[in-house]
Structure 1
């Protein structure tokens, strides 16, 4: 078996080189995800220029979330129970290309930031190393992008992206020569700048990139009660202000869980390794946070009808993944060919999870084309996002409530009819729900 170093430097003919490249790519991905300590040491020994990292790794992995996002929004569609709202194919293709390009741009921007900050934390400024740190460290996020192909699973992609923060943290001392005791502060500074850059890039591309129903983007939601304000990322030895986050990371727990995971993998104990990974993710996400709202509490507030449209299906579930829990309920209402889906998701129980779920809520938008309208605004402490086609064939209205519940209604009807139908949902009662501490 070739090592990543051997396969990435091969100069054999097209067929052998292609096979070796694919094999080396898989080895590198698995090593970074499962054995980050060893992987970063291997990467540090390599002397690959930025162009080689881009061609042999970044261009391939960055395509995963772009293609999956196109499939999810334009092929699968957003919805459930047979109700599916799809982004037009041409718009979806434009969004895929723009999103892919902006992902590559973000890696370069983050590498420049990481390189500039390294000396301030006792490290060394080496742009090729900084680029490797970001490009390889983002592996979990690239792979997690595959969940975008099934919009209902998109939040799992957010969790995968957050694991990349930990991977970057593990590579900081090796690649950037930042002292271990300052690696947490350095990582926090890089990620803080990255969040701001992502918000700016997201705003710049919002007019051409489809962003369905509150599941896209980075940044935006703080802890319950601090929505829209700037709070702090509190880490040992550093206090960095980041718009809309309130995350407390216990690095000792992260390190302990990481060691337990690697030890379990070494002895082949997959069950212990899985538990350790869950503990590590929980600690890296700032702990498990408050208990999520009970599915039955949200389901009880789903009306039995929306005007003349009876409820024809309902689903309530609570899922757990990588150390965190989240609640999701949805219902379908139909009359003839008219369909409406109402969905409520509790994204406020884990602030770090919510970072990736509602970037739109921190901005305002009033966009209109010949065929479509999209608006983002705030009223009485609630963030609203509405989008619809002028021909009345589809509409979506999303509300982010102060307690971190994302309430969404979508259907194949005009926006005015959707607004009127959603008046049957007791928004005030949903917003009044509280979590157990």
Structure 2
């Protein structure tokens, strides 16, 4: 009779997490062959792991508060508790929604509908993202939460195997599942916040595409499957480096001193002040981070350089998704776009003369500037002041 426990309980959840993060190609077949039920997966895997982020958020906000430009704010406990509960509920709902989407899309890509396998895919893929939620407990380490993007790689490996998707349609299946899940979760969030009562049904995807072509998602755009296929090689290399780091107890992350040396003494009349550095890792996923505050009169912004080490390669998958978004506000704008295969985010408010600008460099480093300045060009100049050639050299 099928067990309701997702994993060998004698080995324990921690052992399975380690194997999944370090050796996913070996662990996914074991998960596939193991008898489970939707309820069992949800009760013994999803419920405890999905709570990590909300609990860490709760503790972090109550203990450290929110810090910005030297100002610290501690939200009321009722507000923080409500936020944490909302995060947890949406995470649980999101798990069900994603499993339904993956199962629903299966026939369109020659895969096999199986609600248990779909739940396995979502629950175990999300493990990295849920574990990374622990970094919310210390606001200054929040940037390390980006290692949760490793879940995309886990999904890339696990979904085709568990849903029995043909090799030529697997890349399209994975990418379209991610995109449709994003649409579905947007609907869930809108409903949960009572912003809109309109029911939005994700469009049926009938174009499965091929590994060398592109798949068109109505209302989203095209996805370059060739670039996605190339990204897999980088993801595989990232996994190998993480395995080596975990086995040897070493870190492939660039030392914080090297990152700190990249921060210029001044930028367009702004003078460098306080400099902060952090480094850390989990399960072979390491990272380092250096940032400095630049001040001119009553304006100041922070310029940061973060090395995601092996996890940075995971973000290269975004280059296959030619997605763009923009939003105009009464006093400014926000936009996200892909430039040269790297995601660039930009935000500016004309009234407060503040905003942010950030991009990826060498498919590994995140460079960003955030704060107040005369214009967005100043923040762009700050990001451009980081020598990408030196970053690329450090990555070797």
Task: Answer whether TM exceeds 0.5 for this pair.
Answer: yes
Aligned match of 1:164 in 151, 167, 178? 151
Identify if the C-alpha distance between structure 1 residues 131 and 303 changes in structure 2 by more than 3 Å, giving closer, same or farther: same
What is the number of residues matched between the two proteins? Answer: 335
Paired with 1:128 and 1:406, the residues of 2 have a C-alpha distance of 41
Contact 1:62 1:142 in 2 (8 A): yes
- Which secondary structure state, in structure 2, belongs to the residue aligned with residue 84 of structure 1? strand
Query: What CA deviation, in whole Å up to 9, does each residue of 1:392-430 have, x standing for no partner?
Result: xxx995434799975444xxxxxxxxxxxx45x564333
1:328 is matched with 291
Query: What CA deviation, in whole Å up to 9, does each residue of 1:23-57 have, x standing for no partner?
Result: 62222212211222332222222222211111101
Query: What CA deviation, in whole Å up to 9, does each residue of 1:143-196 have, x standing for no partner?
Result: 0011111222222212x2210111112212331111344333222121222333
- Which secondary structure state, in structure 2, belongs to the residue aligned with residue 314 of structure 1? strand
Identify if the C-alpha distance between structure 1 residues 141 and 116 changes in structure 2 by more than 3 Å, giving closer, same or farther: same
1:237 is matched with 212
Q: CA deviation at 1:201?
A: 4.4
Paired with 1:120 and 1:383, the residues of 2 have a C-alpha distance of 38
Aligned match of 2:270 in 294, 303, 306? 303
1:314 is matched with 274
- Structure 1 residue 383 and structure 2 residue 380: aligned? no
Identify if the C-alpha distance between structure 1 residues 341 and 116 changes in structure 2 by more than 3 Å, giving closer, same or farther: same
Contact 1:365 1:376 in 2 (8 A): yes
2:392 is matched with none
Identify if the C-alpha distance between structure 1 residues 174 and 402 changes in structure 2 by more than 3 Å, giving closer, same or farther: closer
Q: More deviation in 193-202 or 146-155?
A: 193-202
Paired with 1:90 and 1:132, the residues of 2 have a C-alpha distance of 34
Query: What CA deviation, in whole Å up to 9, does each residue of 1:268-290 have, x standing for no partner?
Result: 94268x65xx8xxxxxxxxxxxx
For 1:140-159, what aligned pairs fall within 5 Å after superposition? 140-158=128-146
Q: CA deviation at 1:331?
A: 5.5
2:66 is matched with 78
Q: CA deviation at 1:128?
A: 1.3
For 1:109-258, what aligned pairs fall within 5 Å after superposition? 109-158=97-146, 160-202=147-189, 236-240=211-215, 249-255=230-236, 258=239
- Structure 1 residue 343 and structure 2 residue 302: aligned? yes
- Structure 1 residue 25 and structure 2 residue 13: aligned? yes
Paired with 1:182 and 1:257, the residues of 2 have a C-alpha distance of 24
Structure 2: state its 5+ residue gaps: 196-208, 254-258, 319-324, 336-344, 361-365, 390-396
For 1:46-61, what aligned pairs fall within 5 Å after superposition? 46-61=34-49
Paired with 1:81 and 1:377, the residues of 2 have a C-alpha distance of 22
Structure 1: state its 5+ residue gaps: 11-19, 209-233, 279-291, 305-310, 356-360, 367-374, 388-394, 410-421
Aligned match of 1:430 in 348, 367, 379? 379
Q: CA deviation at 1:323?
A: 8.2
Query: What TM-score does the superposition give when structure 1 sets the normalisation length?
Result: 0.60
1:417 is matched with none
Paired with 2:75 and 2:269, the residues of 1 have a C-alpha distance of 27
1:212 is matched with none
Q: More deviation in 25-34 or 425-434?
A: 425-434
Query: What CA deviation, in whole Å up to 9, does each residue of 1:205-237 have, x standing for no partner?
Result: 6799xxxxxxxxxxxxxxxxxxxxxxxxx9943
Identify if the C-alpha distance between structure 1 residues 296 and 31 changes in structure 2 by more than 3 Å, giving closer, same or farther: closer
- Structure 1 residue 92 and structure 2 residue 73: aligned? no
Q: CA deviation at 1:436?
A: 3.9
Aligned match of 2:356 in 381, 399, 418? 399
